Structure 1
């Protein structure tokens, strides 16, 4: 395939992966609203089944290689930390934000994770941030303020709890990217994600097993759950990861702006959520702030 064809393929994969993630949030909101499923139950199902399926997929390709990490105590401990803070807390915060606010708001607040990453590296490097980083952070704060106040800065248009969980989703989304860099470089990204999901799912069973408070599963609910696990978790990740083979990682990261946009569109089409012009403006401001970061070579 020629260079242009590869670029088109990379762009398509990144957009598809982002749309899958945005759609999974809307599916989760529907199940919560119509079936009474709790945040904890959805997190339990998503992590456990996604982890099992990813590891089964890897086992068919690599056989015993996926168990190499179990032989190194330090790497295993690092993976457990990733499972708790990068997987459990991220998944729980994201679904909690959906339940308290809505899928579109939760997705755009989680999209702030690159801003948290930049702030982390500013403190780690102990360097004064450059102008582009400062502008990006200020814009992201402005966009967030518009999103949660609808332009009326005297009041919050969502509950403080919804704002808290949305920001926590962004924070732990940053942790998800930063913390496992070394072990991912050694064992492979897919392997660490698989073990992170599986171990996180197992640990979460002690808090909320999948059979506890399970909603009534009809045909539609089963299909939506399958979409959340297979498309919104596994294939979303695979598409976004594979896209970096054909386009730069920064470009791929920028295209994840389709996550909040698709979530807002699906929420409007299928859940009847009214998206106000001020909310669209706030989304575009936040997306633009992340775009500036992706163009910033010094981040």
Structure 2
């Protein structure tokens, strides 16, 4: 089922939400960098805390404000397979990225993660039996180039691709493709926030099972020794802002602007991480960072022009 173009006000609201969510992911990346530099925290524990925090907050919100919509969604047997795939994809996107980083490095993992936009565009075009829109394709080129520049700092020698790292990196991109595409057929039939909240709850359950089972590396589950700053960065920075708010905003935006444009805007995450790391952790800007920022800005302009063109064809609702 192809998604109708959003009206102009809806498109710009969804555009802003998707972009804000991606930038908040960047903030969570800076928080994880802060935790990595000052504390020893298992990746499975970080994934558990972020997923569990988001799941609890979404569940509380839905029960308080969207109870009827939530019940309508939960009672639909036809919606359950898509919801299950959605929630599993949300969790897998987090844990596969952590494994990809461990097997390669942060720059390589980020470049591989950005290929999600290629998979989303390919799937969407094949299903619709059409070529990519010109502006969206140009945005894809800008986004991938920007992500590669920021992640590698222009030094392609840092790309490390052992077979296992490549497999997990592509798995990370495919899991992101899964959580972007899986709920698309539900957005026009059920309340968007209820769909997102159910997916986050399923993802939280998956994270708890993996962590309590000892993690994918066989490490026994343990709670790290964190001080107040560490817990603040983990729970508020990574859990509340970097997961609950970030995924909520991003996925709501994707439900409005569509999977292709949403996935493109999601690649803005490295820009958010770069800017926040510079302001908070005093990480200097390089020439590659500035070039990546310029290309990412060009991508945002191209996506906005493409969406505005579709919105003008439909007209305001």
Question: TM > 0.5 between the two?
Answer: yes
Bin of the TM-score, shorter chain as denominator length: 0.7 to 0.9
Is residue 41 of structure 2 the alignment partner of residue 23 of structure 1?
no
Distance in 1, matches of 2:288 and 2:166, equals: 17
Other-structure match for 1:121: 124
Secondary structure of the 1:20 match is helix
Cα distance change of structure 1 residues 290 and 163 upon mapping to structure 2, 3 Å threshold:
farther
Cα distance change of structure 1 residues 174 and 276 upon mapping to structure 2, 3 Å threshold:
same
Cα distance change of structure 1 residues 11 and 76 upon mapping to structure 2, 3 Å threshold:
closer
Other-structure match for 1:213: 222
Query: Of 197, 200, 205, which residue of structure 1 is paired with 2:203?
Result: 200
Residues 103-157 of structure 1: CA deviation (Å, up to 9, x unaligned): x88667655544432222222233344544554444445445545554455x3x1
Query: Of 265, 274, 281, which residue of structure 2 is paired with 1:264?
Result: 274
Distance in 2, matches of 1:116 and 1:277, equals: 29
Please state how far the C-alpha of 1:9 moved relative to its aligned partner: 8.8
Is residue 57 of structure 2 the alignment partner of residue 47 of structure 1?
no
> How do 1:38-77 residues align onto structure 2 when only pairs under 5 Å count?
38-77=42-81
Other-structure match for 2:241: 231
Cα distance change of structure 1 residues 235 and 152 upon mapping to structure 2, 3 Å threshold:
closer
Contact 1:25–1:95 under 8 Å retained in 2 = no
Please state how far the C-alpha of 1:179 moved relative to its aligned partner: 1.4
Contact 2:108–2:160 under 8 Å retained in 1 = no
Contact 1:98–1:105 under 8 Å retained in 2 = yes
Query: Of 17, 36, 39, which residue of structure 1 is paired with 2:40?
Result: 36
Contact 1:26–1:267 under 8 Å retained in 2 = yes
Structure 1: runs of 5+ lacking an equivalent: 1-5
Residues 38-65 of structure 1: CA deviation (Å, up to 9, x unaligned): 2211111111221121111111113354
Residues 69-89 of structure 1: CA deviation (Å, up to 9, x unaligned): 33333321221111112x111
Cα distance change of structure 1 residues 137 and 230 upon mapping to structure 2, 3 Å threshold:
closer
Cα distance change of structure 1 residues 105 and 277 upon mapping to structure 2, 3 Å threshold:
farther
Is residue 178 of structure 2 the alignment partner of residue 175 of structure 1?
yes
Structure 2: runs of 5+ lacking an equivalent: 1-9, 215-219, 311-317
TM-score (norm 1): 0.75
Distance in 2, matches of 1:167 and 1:284, equals: 26
Secondary structure of the 1:183 match is coil
TM-score (norm 2): 0.71
Query: Of 76, 82, 87, which residue of structure 2 is paired with 1:83?
Result: 87
Residues 157-202 of structure 1: CA deviation (Å, up to 9, x unaligned): 1433777666654443333222101223322221122111112221
Contact 1:115–1:140 under 8 Å retained in 2 = no
